[in-house]
Structure formats: structure tokens, C-alpha cells
Amino acid sequence: NAGVMQNPRHLVRRRGQEARLRCSPMKGHSHVYWYRQLPEEGLKFMVYLQKENIIDESGMPKERFSAEFPKEGPSILRIQQVVRGDSAAYFCASSRGAGETQYFGPGTRLLVL
Amino acid sequence: AQTVTQSQPEMSVQEAETVTLSCTYDTSESDYYLFWYKQPPSRQMILVIRQEAYKQQNATENRFSVNFQKAAKSFSLKISDSQLGDAAMYFCAYRTLNSGYALNFGKGTSLLVTP
């Protein structure tokens, strides 16, 4: 299955810890997007990356959140010093080219205790 | 602000019947793409159907079709011959060509399919 892979599927952290979420795009895709879904809400865009570049981070909180997509390896969404309000499902999507259809991974459910 | 409104938080349909989920959006752009995504209990986001705004013909994918009314900024999803596996949250979304590549999602409609 060459779909978008995300791990871990579930992540539990205590307040103040760091959370690292990984996303491997579909084969042949070099564009990655991160979205956050709060309970009872739709998905909200966070950041759009191409290999080694952040293209659009307009939806990313200014503090504690960062994202990267290195030349080799998966894209990483990093949340430092997590707070309870960070509890959500984080989805990664990938596309072959800019503006092409985005295909989603299964998401990572983050729970902050 | 660009928004997507799904006015039906919940809908119910009997197996084999037809149901229509509504969606309206607000954008000042003339070129954009519209999407319906399905999120079953597994929480995976699955693309159901997409529509290019410049195309007048409504998109169709097997039992799924859309009614795209560009002037009214309306993009409803029709599911024919509903099946139990269609039960899910359905999200309407759009993306403009000139305002980045982010998808703008509505809050979703929960579809219940009864035997």
C-alpha cells in the first residue's frame, strides 16, 4: 500500500513534554500538508511544505509548533511543551505537485494529560 | 475570510434511498476546486469527489454526484442507493488557485444509514 503513512497513530503526552508526529507521503509525492482537527470540528490547515522548504505556514501557531520536511525521511510536526489544548487529531496529506489533489493519511491522535 | 458552511450537522437515510448533503462556500476568487471528503469511524479522510469550478458539468463518481451551482456558491453531494458503509462524517472543502494550497473545510455532516 503506497498511501500516506503517519506514525504514531496514537500519542499520549503529559503537559510540558514534546510531541513528534511523522508523515511519509505517497510514493512520487513531494508536497506535504499538515492539518489539525479539534473535537467536533473540521480540519484546519497548519502548514504546507515541499522537500526542505516551508511554503506556507500561515495556519501554524507562532510558538511551540514547528515543521520540517528534510531531503531524506518523513515530514515531522513538532510540538514543544504541549498543553491540554493541543489534544487533537493531526492529519498529514500529500500531493504530487503544487495544487494537485491532496490525499490524507490516517492521522495521529494526540492526547495531552 | 473564506468559509465553508454545512448547515446539516446530522442526516439520516434508509439503506437503498437517496440523500443530499448541502454545502455553501464563500470566496471572492473565480478559480477554485471543490471537494467532498468522507471520514468513517476509523477517522481516515477519504476523497469522495472533486469538482473544478470552471467546469459546468457536475462531477459523478459511481453512486456519488454533486450539484454545483457556481452563482449560488453551492456544492451539494447526492448519495444514491445508500449503503451501510456510507455512514460517516462528510466534509465539504474548497481550495482557491490564487490563495495558497490550503484546503478550507466545513464542520461536517454526520450521516447515519439505517437498515
Tell me: the pLDDT tens digits for B27-79? Answer: 888 889 999 999 998 888 899 999 999 888 999 999 999 999 999 999 999 99
Residue A94 has pLDDT above 90, yes or no: yes
Residue B101 has pLDDT above 90, yes or no: no
Tell which residue, B108, B113, B114, has the closest CA to residue B9.
B108
B8: phi then psi, degrees, rounded to nearest 5: -110, 100
Nearest chain B CA: its distance from A106 CA (Å): 5
Inspect the interface and report whether the beta carbons of A102 and B103 lie closer than 8 Å. Answer: yes
Tell me: the pLDDT tens digits for A30-63? Answer: 999 999 999 888 899 999 999 889 999 999 999 9
Pull the grid cell for residue A17: 513534554
Q: Are A4 and A26 in contact (CB under 8 A)?
A: yes
Residue B97 has pLDDT above 80, yes or no: no
Task: Report the residue of chain B nearest A56, measured CA to CA.
Answer: B100
Percent residues over pLDDT 90 in chain A = 83
Inspect the interface and report whether the beta carbons of B102 and A102 lie closer than 8 Å. Answer: no
All residues of chain A having their beta carbon less than 8 Å from the beta carbon of residue B40 are none
Residue A1 has pLDDT above 70, yes or no: no
Nearest chain A CA: its distance from B70 CA (Å): 20
Pull the grid cell for residue B22: 448541502
For chains A and B, CB pairs below 8 A equal: 61
pLDDT of B2: 59
Q: How far apart are CA A63 and CA A86, in angstroms?
A: 12
Q: Which amino acid is at B98?
A: N
Inspect the interface and report whether the beta carbons of B42 and A31 lie closer than 8 Å. Answer: no
Which positions in chain A have a beta carbon within 8 angstroms of at least one beta carbon in chain B?
31, 33, 35, 40-45, 48, 55-56, 58-59, 89, 91, 93, 95, 98-99, 101-107, 109
Q: Are A102 and B103 in contact (CB under 8 A)?
A: yes
